[in-house]
Amino acid sequence: MPAPTTPDTVTERYTQLPSSTPARVTERTDRLTANAENPYDTARVLEQWLQNNYDYSLDVERPRGNVADEFLFEMDAGYCTYFATTMVTMLRTQDIPARFVVGYTPGQQVDDGEWVVRGYNSHAWVEVYFPEHGWVKFDPTPSDPRIAEEREILADARSDNDSDIDTDDSLDSDFDQGTPDPTTPEGPNGTDTEPNGTETTPTDGPPGTDGDGGFSLPTIPVPTPEQAGFGLLVFAGVVAGLRRTGTGRRLYRELWLRRLPVDDPEAVVAGVYHRVVHLEERDGRQKAPGETPRQFLAGDDRIERVGRLYEQARYGHGVDASDAATARADLADLLEERSRLPHLVEKRNTRSR
């Protein structure tokens, strides 16, 4: 019996990309997936790389150009729309059929067969076509920060006595469950690619691809543009105190400063640069319009070196693993000098007793 193949209609429709897609998107994807042995491995590599190298945030500026290109090279955080759009685009650069899907995560179970689904349960993910399995779901959006954000939105709404946030049963039930894990290490797990309890709308994607090959982000309900709290702290049951004091967000930012991308030297250097800029701005410096990275980061040998490496990565001949290691070391020194983490942890422990 011949092995199944991808229908021509699927290939033609779900591998299209605008002619304006920058070459560096393909080049970055080629490097990341160089060791992938098949389309499934390629999808898993990209899913995990996006989860591990970009932060989740609702508080981001809308890209002006190609969404995937700007997310990969100009941004360090975004929400589900950005993650899913970027993964679809990267897969299509490898001629792997992929589509952008919008729908809802399961919501909060309040009884057997009964769920409460709220506006913040709206979500976007990716489906990839495999001849042997059909459409299989992948979710490149980091789940823990997203769930933490949802918890905080719900807690805020309840503290404000929002009458539209709960039913009679939902107040006494556990918090919403996240999206089920779409894949397993062994490979695609069948053709049922939708989370339980969701209604989904696949799009040709990447989202907003119009007739002339441009990009625009689809409209997906976004609850409030607040920074996500750190998931483990929320699970520890201290959400109210953290929300009142703002400690959760500050602690999450301190932890973000220490969690850098892995493997890709350009992503590491870019991550270090954005974190150094944050440190400078936190200490009162503001980047002037038209100021280059090197100009903004002048005054400290370590900081200047990060600025040079960032310009080299973006505009020069690139960077290698040695450059990335240098940037990491410079950031580590700066964090040791400027860390606010011990104070925040002490404050959190005092408040949560």
Quote the pLDDT of residue 241. 39
Quote the pLDDT of residue 57. 86
Quote the pLDDT of residue 119. 64
Residue whose structure tokens are 């959760």: 248
User: What is the block-wise mean pLDDT of the chain (353 residues), using blocks of 10 residues?
Assistant: 85 89 96 96 96 88 85 92 94 96 75 68 88 93 73 66 61 51 35 37 48 37 30 29 43 58 77 82 71 70 86 84 86 73 37 32
- This prediction has a pTM of 0.53
Quote the pLDDT of residue 270. 85
Quote the pLDDT of residue 49. 96
Query: For the chain, which domains are there?
Result: 1-142+167-221 (3.10.620.30), 229-353 (no CATH)
